[in-house]
Amino acid sequence: MHSFKALSEKFELQFGKRQFPDFPPNLYDPAQYILGIGGKRIRPVLTLLGNELFDEIHADAYHAANAIELFHNFTLIHDDIMDKAPLRRGKPTVHTKYSEPAAILAGDVMLIHCYDYLNKIQLRLQQKVTVVFNKAAREVCEGQQLDMDMEQMRPEQVNYTDYVNMIALKTSVLLAASLQLGAIIGGGSDGNQGHLYEFGKNVGIAFQIQDDYLDAFGDPEKFGKQQGGDILINKKTFLLLKALELCTPAQKAHLHDLMERNPDNKVAEVLQVFHDCKVDAWAEKEKERFCNIAFGHLDDIAVLSKRKEPLRELADFLLTRQH
């Protein structure tokens, strides 16, 4: 069994080479570019971890992991176009560096390439693998569309349950499916696959709540971002949506006023309302709630506890970060 770090290195060793032909460069260079600007490769390593939970790592796990990482980067390219994002990991986004048509097409060819890798997997697993991969792929698209839909709504029009569902689709189901693909390749039973999937999905939601919390209440020096970045742009977050549910009519009116006027002390004032209506404490409990669901599913996987250590360590690392 290997640690996350050891598996990251193993993954990178075979993924780090050029993934695409040289010609035509205006098609393939943008695709290669985004693969080269970093990223923690969490998803593909989850596939390797999911495999190793049940058995030694099979070559097929690398094929699935490569497909997952390509898919993730494809979504980044297209999402950045839709969100008009100029930067990604501190570097120009693909459509900014090249052009929007080049970015659309590079994403397309990257998505196609995913299925080249899935097609290398042993035949008896291919249908199941593709079903799981495609379900997640479709759901990620649904999540992105629902996110765009919700952006057009006023915060109090967004139902909290719908928001959690959107976050799960947009960010968590791919983590969950990454693990499940590994489990399929490792020979895990359907029941164990299901528990592993739910573990990944709920860790993903807990992580997103933590991310929203840290953006508001985290130490900006440790977190490496401007404090209250989400607040400044009126981003719908777990905190804002729940605050609007928990707060008094007067606090609600104050929040709306702050979001409309954008005064200099907006971040401090919004944080004060968050604190007054105890949404900070709520967020910690809500994160805990999803963590408990996640670890409950991890416990229920019928393999020796020792085999679960790398997954437990990774989740602990992701979910207790203060930076």
Q: Which residues of this chain interact with its own copies, rule CB under 8 A?
A: 23-24, 26-27, 74, 78, 81-82, 100-102, 104-105, 107-109, 111-113, 115-116, 119, 123-124, 126-127, 130-131, 134, 137-138, 141-142, 144-146, 148-149
The gap from C-alpha 220 to its chain's centroid, in whole angstroms, comes to: 21
CB count, 10 Å around CB of 193? 22
Q: How far is the CB of 234 from its own copies (least distance, A)?
A: 19
Integer Cα distance of 66 and 249 in angstroms: 50
Residue that has been written with the tokens 């900070």 in this structure: 280
Integer Cα distance of 213 and 298 in angstroms: 25
Nearest to 46 by CA among 185, 206, 181, 211: 181
Nearer to its own copies among residue 174 and residue 315 (C-beta): 174
Nearer to its own copies among residue 32 and residue 272 (C-beta): 32
DSSP 40: -
* The pairing of beta strand 91-92 with beta strand 87-88: antiparallel
Integer Cα distance of 258 and 261 in angstroms: 5
CA distance readout (Å), 262 to 238, 258, 270:
20, 6, 11
Nearer to its own copies among residue 95 and residue 201 (C-beta): 95
Nearer to its own copies among residue 115 and residue 223 (C-beta): 115
Q: How far is the CB of 99 from its own copies (least distance, A)?
A: 9
Q: How far is the CB of 137 from its own copies (least distance, A)?
A: 5
CB count, 10 Å around CB of 148? 13
DSSP 57: P
Q: How far is the CB of 135 from its own copies (least distance, A)?
A: 9
Nearer to its own copies among residue 103 and residue 206 (C-beta): 103
Q: How far is the CB of 61 from its own copies (least distance, A)?
A: 18
Nearer to its own copies among residue 126 and residue 251 (C-beta): 126
Integer Cα distance of 238 and 145 in angstroms: 18
Nearer to its own copies among residue 152 and residue 320 (C-beta): 152
CB 34 within 8 A of CB 76: yes
Nearer to its own copies among residue 13 and residue 82 (C-beta): 82
Q: How far is the CB of 177 from its own copies (least distance, A)?
A: 13
Backbone angles phi, psi at 87, to 5 degrees: -130, 150
Q: How far is the CB of 81 from its own copies (least distance, A)?
A: 6
The token duo for 75 is: 């979504």
CB count, 10 Å around CB of 281? 11
3-class DSSP state of 88 = strand
Q: How far is the CB of 158 from its own copies (least distance, A)?
A: 14
